[in-house]
Chain A
Amino acid sequence: MKCQKVISLFTEYYDDELSQKIRTAVKDHLDQCEECKAKHKEFNKSIKLLKKLKPLE
């Protein structure tokens, strides 16, 4: 799987919306590609920051 494809799947990977086969392919790529791994880490961090905001009840 190429870098551009992997990056396009970050959202579905984060939300666990990928099939097992594609998920494994993305994970394998992230284990080998330092650039995508760094981008993935930033992507996840930004979502976690966003999730820390809570709407008022």
Chain B
Amino acid sequence: MAYRKIHTFLYKAKFRTWLSKIALNLFRQKHRQKRKHESLILEEIMIPGEDGNPERKIIKSELQWCIIHNLQHHLPEKYRVVLVLRDLQSFSYKEISETLGWSISKTKTMLHRGRQLFRNTLLNAKCKALTDDYCCTCEGVQDL
């Protein structure tokens, strides 16, 4: 897709930003088609590094499920997208604003609201990784 559209790249934005816009449009297009399943993020995100320890693997997968579930089902797309760009793809505020067509000020606001909402959903889900009284010292939890 990017190859077919390369003639539309006008050097006004960074190549990465331009490419991300294409990816974002494809994501939205695909997401609209798959709305009933809402499995896109679940399929596209993973936690790397498994050491084969079954207990650790289970704890990791439970936490991973909790994080992804909250991201996927409890965050509106406008917040999910900005969290993915910033916290998973390490985009700068400027790159996010260019990709999404937002002002820097709106980018900051949306990122903050998204992060607050994400934190609240984890707390509401009683995510053990967030609670201070969780005293398990299992290696898997410490690392995650």
List residues of chain A with CB under 8 Å of any chain B CB: 8, 10-12, 15, 17, 38, 41-43, 45-47, 49-56
- Interface contact A42-B123, CB-CB below 8 Å: yes
- Interface contact A49-B129, CB-CB below 8 Å: yes
Stretch from B2-10, B13-21, B28-36, B45-53 that touches the partner = B45-53
Among B68, B115, B132, the residue within 8 A (CB) of A47 is: B115
Chain B interface main SS type: helix
List residues of chain B with CB under 8 Å of any chain A CB: 44-48, 63-64, 67-68, 71, 83-84, 86-89, 93, 108, 111-112, 115-116, 118-119, 122-123, 127, 129-130, 132, 144
A-B interface, 5 closest residue pairs, ranked by CB to CB distance from nearest = A11-B112, A46-B119, A50-B87, A53-B45, A51-B87
Chain A interface main SS type: helix
- Interface contact B47-A47, CB-CB below 8 Å: no
Chain B residues near A54 (CB, 8 Å)? 45-48, 88
**Which residue of chain A is the closest to B104 with respect to CB atoms?**
A17
